[in-house]
Amino acid sequence: MHPNVSFFLEQAAMCGRQASEASLPHQRERFLRSQAAWQKLADQRGATLAERQRIDNERTMRV
């Protein structure tokens, strides 16, 4: 089973909070990079789900 978009968004939010709480610059940068990666995964998953829905709708319209 693939994680849903909300899982990725929760992870991104958590990394954002950790970045704002980090006391060392290299920790902050690591959390910000992680936040960006989780956000990218959320965006990709959302796009994939939207495309699957579009394809399913087209199939339904043909039948």
Distance CA 26, CA 15 (A): 14
Task: Please choose, from the candidates 19, 14, 17, the residue with its C-alpha nearest in 3D space to the C-alpha of residue 29.
Answer: 19
Burial class (CB in 10 A: 0-12, 13-18, 19+), 18: middle
The whole-model pTM stands at: 0.86
| Amino acid 22: pLDDT | 98
Residue 26, CB half-sphere, CA atoms under 13 Å: how many?
A: 0
| Amino acid 3: pLDDT | 85
Q: Give every residue of the chain whose pLDDT is below 70, as ranges.
A: none
| Amino acid 48: pLDDT | 95
Report the C-alpha dihedral over residues 5, 8, 9, 12, rounded to 10 degrees: -160
